[in-house]
Amino acid sequence: MKKLNRIYFLFAVMVAAIVFTGCKKSFLEKPPLSSVVDANFYKTDEQVMAATSLLYSQVWFDYNDKAMYNLGDFRGGTAYSAWNDRGNVLFNTTGDNGENGASWRAFFNVVAQSNLAIYNINRYAGEAVSARVKKMAIAEARFMRALAYRFLVMNWGPVPVVENNFDHLFDTSITRNTVPSVWRFITREMRAAAEDLPAVADQEGRLTKWSAEAMLARFYLTRAGVEATGGVRNQQFLDSAKYFAANVINNSGRSLLNSYEDLFRYPYDNNSESLFELQWVFSGPSVWGTNNSMPEYLAYSPDISFGGWGGDKGATWWLVKQYDGIIEQANGTLKGRTLDQRLHATFMLPGFYYPEITKVTDRTKLIYPFTGTDANFLAVKKYVIGSPIDLAGIAAQQRYPNNTYMMRLAEMYLIYVEAVIGNNPSTSDALAIEYFNRVHTRAGLPPYTVAGPNGSGPLTLDALYSERFKEFAMEGMAWYDFVNLHYWNPQKAYSMLNSQDRGLFFTQPNSMPNPTEWTFTKTSWYTERTINANDGNFRLPIPNVELSQAPNLLKPPVDYP
């Protein structure tokens, strides 16, 4: 997919698609061989569905590549890079930041190509195209467009809503739209998608009505904050979030995997817990944009990957403190162990064993090493699926086949809980506690109890946030949790962010190769440990290259119809 640098030209032609090889996602096997704007193309159900298949991968590539974790985890504080991507880690993302520009470009690319798909299907679909497929394909495009705008409005605030790029051909007067009106638009779009998407996917990995209703639960939870009054979230939208989350939980047929670690052991794609994933395929070393490039930037060493450039990335001190059983000591260190399986599945501690990953150097199964230096990172495990030995024939450097989660059922349980808490500090609601425990105990932890001799009292909003940070670490989610909070309680969002320690630390196992606990000590000479989040830097700045071409983006926003 051609990468275009200006939102005004993102309506342009999709370049000729590529026939994928070695593809396990059946609906990606036969994309169109010619430009999808060809009036002679949209003549059969198969052709229409092939056209929308491109919306599941290539258009999201620039976001998935590095921006997903740079914004979602580095800005959110669940992970950091000690030497690279420092603008995002330190919360001073500029208009020239590469991942800021990549995200803006990717999201408007999704919008433009979704608009183009809707335009072409409505204009060119032949008589042989069934009404059902036409309706479903347009719903897929509306879903993708709405989701892209969710990212846009949460990152940059007011942004221009464009439903038909041909209407804005060479239009330099386009302006931004207000945050509430963008949210009204995307909620309306997602409701329409939910009406027209099938309850059962036509092909594995495609969207269903449950994908859209899950997004509606997410959208309404956010809108409750967007339309808060005096710091009180909109109850109608909290109720809507609760309704849609419960509907997906009870009626979608989706179920949590028994093991959290199995969510990220390849091949995990399109499993029973998944509600929407970006669909990546290994399509050969000569192809770019259809493979998942992200694992290369996360793997700590070429000993476990084809490139392995993630040696300075890992969990933050702040996140480590969130895990049950790891306790802060009087001398300021952290010490202990956790039963929480999510830590092992997300980050590597010295001595952690990963039988699914074979080391290239000695062909043994990976035991994450202890370096004995003060730069011993808790390296990223999530999305790192194996070495060239494990993936021979189905992967190459920056070209991996594993999907990226965009929505899992676990989020529905936690959205339901937050909607029940609503404007209260906590809840003792029995169903909310049950739903919380489905996520909590799946991680290997004892159930949360409100009353009784071992009870912890009502479940608080802070405890829920902590659960989300651990459940979705390295899935690009933490930053958007803070944006949600910022909509209705900005001071709490700033306070939480500014309390995070994002600096280097040393991890000491009590023995190797089979440690039973770890001690974590802050690296004394590393001084860049905290950030200063405030009203002036909370939103991302519009990329400078966009402002130079479209100065009207600096004008005051107006409501979108």
Cα separation, 369 vs 354, whole angstroms: 12
With beta carbons less than 8 A apart as the criterion, state whether 116 and 140 touch. no
* Tokens read off for 463: 């405890």
* CATH code that applies to domain 8-197+539-553: 1.25.40.390
Half-sphere exposure of 391 (CA within 13 A, CB side): 29
Q: What is the pLDDT along the chain (561 residues), one digit of tens a residue?
A: 322 233 322 222 233 232 233 344 544 443 333 334 466 789 999 999 999 998 999 999 999 999 999 999 999 999 999 999 999 999 999 999 999 999 999 999 999 999 999 999 999 999 999 999 999 999 999 999 999 999 999 999 999 999 998 877 666 678 999 999 999 999 999 999 999 999 999 999 999 999 999 999 999 999 999 999 999 999 999 999 999 999 999 999 999 999 999 999 999 999 999 999 999 999 887 788 999 999 999 999 999 999 999 999 999 999 999 999 999 999 999 999 999 999 999 999 999 999 999 999 999 999 999 988 776 799 999 999 999 999 988 999 999 999 999 999 999 999 999 999 999 999 999 999 999 999 999 999 999 999 989 899 999 999 999 999 999 999 999 999 999 999 999 999 999 999 999 999 999 999 999 999 999 999 999 999 999 999 999 999 999 999 998 889 999 999 999
The letter for the amino acid at 29 is: E
The letter for the amino acid at 99 is: E
Cα separation, 317 vs 299, whole angstroms: 19
Cα separation, 326 vs 312, whole angstroms: 23
Please count the residues of the chain. Answer: 561
Q: Where are the domains of the chain?
A: 8-197+539-553
Helix 235-251 vs helix 409-421: angle between axes, to the nearest 10 degrees?
A: 150
Cα separation, 240 vs 409, whole angstroms: 17
